[in-house]
Amino acid sequence: MTATTSEKKICVPGERLFADGEEHRSGKGTHSTHGFIYASVAGFLHVVPSPIGEEKASTVEVRRFEDDDHAVPFLGAIVTAKVLNIGSRFAKCSIVCVGNSILSHPFNAQLRREDIQATERDKVEVQKCVRPADVILARVIGLGDNQTSFYLSTAEEELGVVFGTSDAGFKLIPISWTHMQCSLTGDKEQRKVAKVPNLNLKTTSS
């Protein structure tokens, strides 16, 4: 046995875990029926504090692994996506990660023009916000009509382009909310920049 497996309770599907009462809320890998929380999958039992806004104190989850892994993008998830191509009305993206878990195969998604920015939603030009080969952080806001692709939105401060490639082919560095600068040529390009700190500064010589 490796050290990583802590002494956690192993559950099997259908196992009754807790009573669906005041303190417990059914989370990932569980379901609540007849006033009880049952495990839906096989894995280890995790009781984590609920996110802010939930009335119940703790969330009961059954996870296969220690880290919170996702298999599919779900509604409201923060995803890391790569822009494949852009059009006049939307940008086609490919979801690579959901939260911190990397997906085994990418999902198709669309970033519609009106979902790129929070304000002035109709006057947005897609090519001034995202470009192909950009890596963006976005939120899943829905499933497509034909259910083949998700709908994304970057209409938040912290969402938008995280990494970009300039026309010259080099990395872009954000200089403002709407502009990024090529690291080599110094050309400025317009993007909808995500307001996230670059925590990898020490490894990259930018």
Partner 1 sequence: MVSNTPPDAKALSKSVNVAVARAIKSANGLPKIGDNFELVASYPAFSQLMDAERVRMIELLKRLLRHGNCKTKIPSPIRDNDEFFDRLIEANDSILERVGNLLDEAEGIRKPEDVAVPVSTEDFAESTTASSKTLFKIPLTQGRKAGQQRKAVATLPSASGSKILKKPQVQYSIPVDNSAAPFVPKLKIKHHSRPRKSGNVTIADDANSGREWLSDENESMHPYQYELDYYEPPAAQLELGTVTDPLPVEETPLVYVDSVEKLTELRDILNKEKEFAVDVEHHDYRSFLGLTCLVQISTRTVDYIIDPFPIWQHMHILNEPFVDPKILKVFHGSNKDMEWLQRDFGIYVVNMFDTGRAMRLLQFPKFSLQYLVQLYCNESLNKEYQLTDWRIRPLPSDYQTYARCDTHYLLFCYDKLRQRLLESSNERKNLISAVYTASREICLTVYSKPQFDADGYDRFVTIRKSLNNRQLFALKELWRWRDETARTNDESCAYVLPDHMLLQIAEALPREMQGILACCNPIPALVKTSLHELHRIILAARERPLEAKMTLTKNPPTLPTDARRSSLAWLNTPHDHSFSKIDEEIRPLARGDESRLEAVVEKQYSRLLNLMDTICKEQPSIHLFASAVDAAKQAASPNKGTSPNKGTSQKQATSLKRSFADWASPYDCYRVAVTKREEEELKKRAAESEQTAKKSKWSHHDPSSGRGSKPREIRSTPIEDSSETAEEKAEVAIGIDEEMTLTDRALRKRRKNEKGTTDVAFNLKETPAEPSQMKKGKWSDETRHANIQPVDYSNFASDIFNQKPSKAGTFDPHRTSSVRRGRGGRRGGRRGGGGGLDRARPKTQSFGGRNK
Positions touching partner 1 (CB under 8 A) are 1-2, 4-5, 12-14, 29, 40-43, 52, 64-65, 69, 71-72, 78, 80, 82, 96-97, 99-105, 119, 135, 137, 157-159, 162-163, 165, 169-171, 174-178, 183-184, 193-200, 203-206
What's the min distance (Å) between Cβ of 200 and partner 1? 5
Nearer to partner 1 by C-beta: 110 or 154? 154
Whole-number Å distance between alpha carbons of 115 and 122: 9
3-state SS assignment for residue 127:
helix
Nearer to partner 1 by C-beta: 65 or 89? 65
Cβ atoms of 126 and 90 closer than 8 Å: yes
What's the min distance (Å) between Cβ of 166 and partner 1? 10
Nearer to partner 1 by C-beta: 112 or 171? 171
Nearer to partner 1 by C-beta: 16 or 89? 16
Q: How many CA atoms lie less than 13 Å away from 77 in the CB half-sphere?
A: 22
What's the min distance (Å) between Cβ of 173 and partner 1? 9
Indicate the burial class of 125 (C-beta count within 10 angstroms; 0-12, 13-18, 19 or more).
exposed
What's the min distance (Å) between Cβ of 142 and partner 1? 19
Nearer to partner 1 by C-beta: 104 or 146? 104
Degrees (nearest 5) of the Cα angle 50, 52, 54?
60
State how far Cα 142 lies from the chain centre: 13
What's the min distance (Å) between Cβ of 137 and partner 1? 5
Whole-number Å distance between alpha carbons of 39 and 62: 7
